[in-house]
Amino acid sequence: MVTIKDVAKASGVSPSTVSRVIANNPRISQDTKKKVRKAMKDLGYHPNINARNLVAKSTKAIGVIMPSSANKALQNPFFPEILRGIGSVIHDLEYSMYLSTGETEKEILSEVQRMVYGSYVDGVILLYSRIDDKVTSFLMELDFPFVIVGKPYENENVITHVDNDNYKAGKEITEHLIQMGHRRIGFIGGSRDLFVTRDRENGYLAALEEAGIEDNNSYKIHTEFLESGGREAVEHLLSLTTKPTGLVVSDDLISLGILSMLDKNGIRIPQDISIVSFNNVYLSEITRPALTTVDIQIQELGAQSAKAIIEKAQNRNEPCKRIIIPHKIVYRDSVSKLS
């Protein structure tokens, strides 16, 4: 078994310096911290969480993990908004926040392991729910406090999660297009690995089926939750012989890319094509035309996830909860009625 002495020897410092690096002591230089952490990683050394916690009791910090790199995720207004909701709660309770910045799934997992093994945080909020997610598996194996924003892939009854009813929201927003006379309705969503996309798409399909509208595979596209994703989706739709008259888009940021691309191609919204969307980020109201979208109360998702993780961190026996945040449709100018 690798000990602090082994790490000290490998990095050329004293065992007490290694202990201070583990405790993230601000008096230790960044160069020394890097050297010691590299030795810890190379040797496969992880501090004893239980022993450290007996001393530290609580770090008064929460780890917040995004589905992709911070650079990419923060391009989507959903994430700053949910961080505001989390921040409003943890700051009131005098907690601080560690935000993940890993570029790849492997890097994100490594960052979470460092947060947990180094006892830097009391609990973790995952701002996504993905199929076969290694971070979720790791946190479950260690029985470390965590909360998911979204619906867990497995073990739904033993993982605390904060979510909207995305299936119901997907169905309702699609029914709005159907009520406005649309029969050729496309769906543009994010990655199918993400549960939020699957639920919204399944709601869309259920609305089509109830209305007796055939599901057309060429009308369904999956892309990134970025403005560039919307532009790619439009290129595909414009290549179709029979184009949809309405689009259900699973994220406002993708919608903004679609609006801009359609405008460049001389296609008018809502006269030529109607668009409905999800999330009700602030940009959806100020864009032209303003988007009809599902308000999922992003800040409330963040606030409730923060309350739930602090409860779990303070009491490991806190029972698991499923917290559903209500949604509503905000009707604006991006849908026209077909005769």
DSSP string, 175-192: HHHHHTT--SEEEEES-T
Q: Per-residue pLDDT for the chain (339 aa), expressed as one digit of tens each? A: 788 888 999 999 988 888 888 877 778 898 999 999 999 888 888 776 545 544 456 889 999 999 876 667 778 889 999 999 999 999 999 999 999 888 888 999 999 999 998 889 999 999 998 888 999 999 998 889 999 999 998 778 889 999 999 999 999 999 999 999 999 999 999 888 888 999 999 999 999 999 999 999 999 998 876 667 677 788 888 889 999 999 999 999 889 988 988 998 899 999 999 999 999 999 999 999 999 999 999 999 999 999 999 999 999 888 999 999 999 999 999 999 997
pTM: 0.79
Q: What is the pLDDT of residue 323?
A: 97
| Alpha carbon 238 to chain centroid, angstroms | 30
CB 308 within 8 A of CB 126: no
DSSP letter at 295 equals E
CB 334 within 8 A of CB 289: yes
* Partners of residue 298 on adjacent β-strands: none
Type of residue at 88: S
Q: What is the pLDDT of residue 236?
A: 85
Query: Which secondary-structure segment (H or E) carries 307?
Result: helix 298-314
Edge-to-edge strands, sheet with 185-189: 220-222, 185-189, 246-249, 274-279, 292-295, 328-330
Q: What is the pLDDT of residue 72?
A: 72
Q: What is the pLDDT of residue 16?
A: 82
Type of residue at 94: E
Residue 126 in 3-state DSSP?
strand
Directed axis angle between helix 4-11 and helix 30-43, to 10°?
Answer: 120
- Full set of structural domains in the chain with CATH: 1-45 (1.10.260.40), 166-296 (3.40.50.2300)
Q: What is the pLDDT of residue 54?
A: 42
d(CA 19, CA 56): 13
d(CA 63, CA 71): 17
Directed axis angle between helix 298-314 and helix 78-92, to 10°?
Answer: 40
Q: What is the pLDDT of residue 70?
A: 64
d(CA 300, CA 288): 27
Type of residue at 253: L
